[in-house]
Amino acid sequence: MLPFVAQLIEVKTEESSWRGAIERAMGGHRLRILVPSAHMQASLDWVNSRNNRLHVRLLEVKTPPRPPHFMDDGFTHKLNFKDHPHREALKFLLANIDRHCVATPEKLRSTPHGMTAQGLMSGKTGHFEKQDKQPLQQGWMTGFDNKHRLTTLAKELQKLASEKAQHQRDHQTIKQQVKTTENKLGLIERLTTLKFETIDSPGAEAVLDELQQRLTLLTDPNSTVGKARQKFEQVEQQLTHTNQQIQTQNEQRVRMETQHSSVLGNKEKAFARIGDGLSDEQLELAHTHLSDLSGDINLEQLDQDERNERQQLESKREKITQQFAKFGKELVRLMASAQKADTGALSEAGTDISDIPAYLARLKVLSEEALPAKLDRFISYLTQSSDQGITQLLTDIDNEVSVIEERIHDLNLALQRVDFNPGHYLQLVPQRVVHESISTRRRAQRHLRSAALKDDQGESHDGALKHLIALLRDASERKNTVGARALLDPRYRLKFAINVLDRHTQALIETRTGSQGGSGGEKEIIASYILTASLSYALCPNGMTRPLFGTIILDEAFSKSSQAVAGRIISALQEFGLHPLFVTPNKEMRLLRNHTRSAILVHRKGMKATLTSMSREELENHAQKKIGQTHEIA
């Protein structure tokens, strides 16, 4: 959706008194649509090819040739701009139409391209204008939302509705006046057609007087005619009321007769169904299993109540029948299992429902022979043996973590013999990581131990064991997740930091957990030491302190290292029992040759360090020879 200018700006709250003037100063630019350059040609073709029935304004969005410059006292400083990709292009547009904001017309007179809060504007020197076609408070369009616009439209709608109601009232008044005027015009028209010689004024007056006397006589309440008229009206009202009562009573009588006939028919049907009624035993069963009928009974709902009760009873009966069949099958299955388990006493018993007494008799004998005690001993044995495998597995993983910590301790002894900086050495610090999956497993183990103490024939223990196995199975299926690795792989139970210690005082200098801090040389030494320790750890068999075969090949290992750094790294290789083969150009021979003596000294103690310069073919032959030796050692 393409935005328009008014949608991306709003007047600051503290500058709300200037909003009408700012809206008027921006004019038609408020509805100018911002179109990216890539879509400008398509937009122009679309607008040009149709009758839009309104004034369409477009602005091609380009990167401004220079940063927009607003006037120090311009209205652009009174605006908030929405965060939008076209924001800079919008600012550039507003900078070109910016105006000075002045407080009085006196200042406006001497300020070209200015405006007041009341909407008076100045152009070039001597030109002023104030466009008041509509009030300054109407037609506002700016704002990040349309709440103000909706409020304004609601007020206008309310005002128009009030004006419409007033116009409708005026219309009715005028319509009545028109009707009265038309009646008068009709009388006037008839009077204009009336001829004077046709008017019998004395005869009309005589008729009027006679009619007036008759009206007076008829309307006089004390006259005989008036009294008779009053009595007639009273009797007529009583007659009307009586007729209404008779009609109502007739309707009620018809309804009662219909109901009476229906009730008699239902009564005969009910007595025919009842017959001799229920016996005492049947009444007791009815009170036990049916709804309470001691309260008020709605005879009209009696049939429906009976059907409901019948449906409920049928549903219960069907459910009980299904349960009975299910229990019968289960009982037959249990009798077959019991017959297989107890081949002595039950060898001649069948597995039908009629054979149940034989199995009950055998159960009684077994119960009297301390079967519960034997069952408790079996459940106790089953509980102990069922979780031994899980406990052993989890214990082995925890022990592996301890073995890793012990081997890290051996690596630290080697790191202690190598300098990191003059007078300083490094130490690996393993820290145990407690992941949420480990905490969940520990809670499951505690629940398993507590469930084993419950006296419910192992049900709680079985449920807790299933939950623990489900946790391990889920971790095994999702073995690539962090939680599964932390639960099943001891390597993911530890994280490491590096401590820098003083060799003489054993004081802690600093602790590093990542690549932050330190110089490039220090980072290189740390990385080399960690890599060397990792190789020694991986190549060293369990129960030994040095690798059986530790030959490694380093290709231009110290092309960018100083002699001091190279010497420390070579010392670390020797301390960890590794045999380095250096592949290096001639320019680094002197750097490596300076450390040959230390390699020889280590050789005298059982360590090999070879300094050589060989071709690619010689290097490949040497590597193949070492690989063969490795296979022999394995």
Q: Tens digits of per-residue pLDDT, 48-93? A: 999 988 899 999 998 888 888 899 899 999 999 988 888 889 999 9
Let me know if 416 is exposed, middle or buried by CB neighbors in 10 A (0-12, 13-18, 19+).
middle
Which DSSP letter does residue 196 get?
G
* Average pLDDT rounded to a whole number, residues 30-59: 91
Report the domain count for the chain. Answer: 4
- Domain with 102, as residue range(s), is 5-145
251, pLDDT greater than 70: yes
Do 128 and 175 fall within a single domain?
no
Quote the mean pLDDT of the chain: 78
Do 66 and 167 fall within a single domain?
no
Do 187 and 132 fall within a single domain?
no
* Average pLDDT rounded to a whole number, residues 392-396: 75
CA distances in angstroms from 365 to 341, 342, 348, 370, 578, listed in the order given: 15, 12, 17, 9, 76
Confidence (pLDDT) at 622: 52
Let me know if 126 is exposed, middle or buried by CB neighbors in 10 A (0-12, 13-18, 19+).
exposed
569 pLDDT band, cuts 50/70/90, is confident
More confident residue, 114 or 355: 114
**CA torsion, points 112, 114, 116, 117, in degrees to nearest 10?**
180
Confidence (pLDDT) at 167: 92
How confident is the model over 450-506, as pLDDT tens digits? Answer: 776 777 767 777 777 788 778 888 877 887 787 777 777 777 777 778 788 888 888
∠ CA 192-195-200, nearest 5°, is 125
Confidence (pLDDT) at 631: 36
Do 13 and 107 fall within a single domain?
yes
Q: What percentage of the chain has pLDDT greater than the value 70? A: 82
Do 141 and 11 fall within a single domain?
yes
How confident is the model over 287-341, as pLDDT tens digits? Answer: 776 666 555 666 667 777 778 878 888 888 888 888 888 888 888 888 888 777 7
Domain final residue pick, 318, 337, 369? 369
Do 141 and 167 fall within a single domain?
no
> Could you tell me the two tokens for 270?
């009910």
Confidence (pLDDT) at 595: 54
605, pLDDT greater than 50: no
- Among the residue ranges 109-113, 379-383, 479-483, the one predicted with the least confidence is 379-383
Confidence (pLDDT) at 138: 79
- Among the residue ranges 379-393, 480-494, 496-510, 590-604, the one predicted with the least confidence is 590-604
614, pLDDT greater than 50: no
Confidence (pLDDT) at 601: 31
Confidence (pLDDT) at 172: 92
CA–CA gap between residue 315 and residue 289 (Å, rounded): 13
SS (H, E, C) 5-17: HHHHEEECHHHHH
Do 562 and 606 fall within a single domain?
yes
Do 58 and 180 fall within a single domain?
no
626, pLDDT greater than 50: no
Do 23 and 51 fall within a single domain?
yes
Do 574 and 624 fall within a single domain?
yes
SS3 139: coil
Confidence (pLDDT) at 476: 78
Confidence (pLDDT) at 550: 74
Do 17 and 122 fall within a single domain?
yes
596, pLDDT greater than 60: no
534, pLDDT greater than 90: no
Domain final residue pick, 369, 390, 409? 369
CA–CA gap between residue 228 and residue 309 (Å, rounded): 69
Do 138 and 18 fall within a single domain?
yes
464 part of a folded domain = no
SS3 144: coil
The separation between the first and the last C-alpha atoms of the chain, rounded to the nearest angstrom, is 70
611 part of a folded domain = yes
Please answer whether residues 488 and 476 qualify as being in contact, where contact means their C-beta atoms are separated by less than 8 angstroms.
yes
Domain final residue pick, 107, 123, 145? 145
Confidence (pLDDT) at 106: 92
* Average pLDDT rounded to a whole number, residues 603-617: 39
* Average pLDDT rounded to a whole number, residues 153-179: 90
177, pLDDT greater than 90: yes
How confident is the model over 349-361, as pLDDT tens digits? Answer: 777 777 788 878 8
380 part of a folded domain = no
Confidence (pLDDT) at 600: 31
The closest of 605, 535, 519, 542 to 572, measured between CA atoms, is 535
SS3 3: coil
78 part of a folded domain = yes
280 part of a folded domain = no
Confidence (pLDDT) at 164: 92
104, pLDDT greater than 70: yes
627, pLDDT greater than 60: no
Confidence (pLDDT) at 312: 83
* Average pLDDT rounded to a whole number, residues 146-153: 76
493 part of a folded domain = no
CA–CA gap between residue 421 and residue 565 (Å, rounded): 9
How confident is the model over 403-449, as pLDDT tens digits? Answer: 777 777 777 777 777 777 777 888 888 878 777 877 787 787 787 77
Confidence (pLDDT) at 269: 80
517 part of a folded domain = no
More confident residue, 423 or 256: 256
Confidence (pLDDT) at 51: 92
CA–CA gap between residue 360 and residue 339 (Å, rounded): 12
The closest of 17, 28, 13, 146 to 80, measured between CA atoms, is 13
Residue with tokens 């009815």: 286
Please answer whether residues 613 and 584 qualify as being in contact, where contact means their C-beta atoms are separated by less than 8 angstroms.
yes
114, pLDDT greater than 90: yes
221 part of a folded domain = no
